[in-house]
Amino acid sequence: MFDNLSDKLDRAFKVLKGHGSITEINVAETVKEVRKALLDADVNYKTAKAFTDTVKEKALGMNVLTSVSPGQLMVKVVNDELVELMGGNVSELDIKQNPSIILIAGLNGAGKTTFTGKLANYLKTQKGKKPFLVAADVYRPAAIDQLKVLSEQIGVPVYTDYESKDPVKIAEAGIAKAKADGNTVVIIDTAGRLAIDEQMMNEIADVKAATKPHEILFVVDSMTGQDAVNTAKAFNDRLDFTGVVLTKLDGDTRGGAALSIKSVVNKPIKFIGTGEKMDAIDVFYPDRMASRILGMGDVVSLVERA
Partner 1 sequence: EKTKENVFSKLTKMIAGKSTVDDDVLDELEEILVTSDVGVSTTLKIIERIEDRVARDKYLGTSELNAILREEITGLLEENNSADFDKLNINDNARPYVIMVVGVNGVGKTTTIGKLAHKFKQSGKKVVLGAADTFRAAAVDQLHIWGDRVGVRVVSQQMGSDPASVAYDTLQSAVANGEDVAIIDTAGRLHNKVGLMNELTKIKNVMQKVVPDAPHEILLVLDASTGQNAIEQCKQFTQATDVNALALTKLDGTAKGGVVIGISDQFKIPVKYIGVGEGINDLQLFNKVEFVNSLFKN
Q: Return residues touching Mg ion (CB under 5 A).
A: 112-113
The nearest distance, CB 163 to Mg ion, in angstroms, is 19
Whole-angstrom distance, CA of residue 292 vs CA of residue 185: 32
Between 113 and 247, name the residue whose CB sits nearer to Mg ion.
Answer: 113
Distance CA 145, CA 196 (A): 27
β-pair type (100-106, 215-221): parallel
Binding partner at 36 among partner 1, ligand GTP, Mg ion, none, C-beta below 5 to 8 Å by kind? partner 1
Q: Which one, 34 or 201, has the nearer CB to ligand GTP?
A: 201
Cβ neighbourhood burial of 301 (10 Å; 0-12, 13-18, 19+): exposed
Residue 280 touches which member of partner 1, Mg ion, ligand GTP, none, C-beta under 5-8 Å by kind: ligand GTP
Q: Does 273 bind ligand GTP (CB under 6 A)?
A: yes
Among 44, 72, 247, 263, binds ligand GTP (CB under 6 A): 247
204-212, 244-252, 262-270, 282-290 -> range binding ligand GTP (CB under 6 A): 244-252
DSSP per-residue codes, 176-208: HHHHHTT-SEEEEEE----TT-HHHHHHHHHHH
CB nearer partner 1, residue 81 or residue 221 = 221
- Contact 51/43 with Cβ under 8 angstroms? yes
Q: Which of 192, 213, 268, 286 binds ligand GTP (CB under 6 A)?
A: 192
Give yes or no for residue 36 binding partner 1 (CB under 8 A): yes
User: How far is CA 174 from each of CA 163, 207, 262, 266, rounded to the nearest angstrom?
Assistant: 14, 12, 32, 31
- Give burial (CB, 10 Å; 0-12/13-18/19+) of 68: middle
Question: Is 190 within 8 Å of 137 (Cβ atoms)?
Answer: yes
Q: Which of 161, 107, 159, 167 is nearest to 136 (CA)?
A: 167
280 makes contact with ligand GTP (CB under 6 A) = yes
Please identify, using beta-carbon distances, which residue of 70 and 192 lies nearer to ligand GTP. Answer: 192
Residue of 90, 176, 194, 300 interacting with ligand GTP (CB under 6 A) = 194
Question: In whole angstroms, what separates CA 186 from the centre of its chain?
Answer: 21
Rule CB under 6 A: is residue 250 a binding residue for ligand GTP?
A: yes
Q: Does 265 bind partner 1 (CB under 8 A)?
A: no
Among 3, 84, 276, 304, binds ligand GTP (CB under 6 A): 276
Binding mask 220-239 for ligand GTP (x = CB under 6 A): --------------------
Closest CA to 278 of 150, 187, 184: 150
Distance CA 176, CA 26 (A): 64
**Which of residues 143 and 264 has its CB atom nearest to Mg ion in the complex?**
143
CA distances from residue 195 to 141, 182, 198, 230 in whole angstroms, order as listed:
21, 35, 7, 8
Partner interacting with residue 274 (select from ligand GTP, Mg ion, partner 1, none; CB below 5-8 Å by kind): ligand GTP
Q: What angle do CA 38, 43, 46 make, to 5 degrees?
A: 100
Binding site for partner 1 (CB under 8 A): 1-2, 36, 39-42, 44-45, 107-111, 113, 139-143, 145-150, 153, 194-196, 221, 223-228, 230-231, 248, 250-254, 256-257, 276
Binding site for ligand GTP (CB under 6 A): 106, 108-114, 137, 140, 143, 191-192, 194, 247-248, 250, 273-276, 280
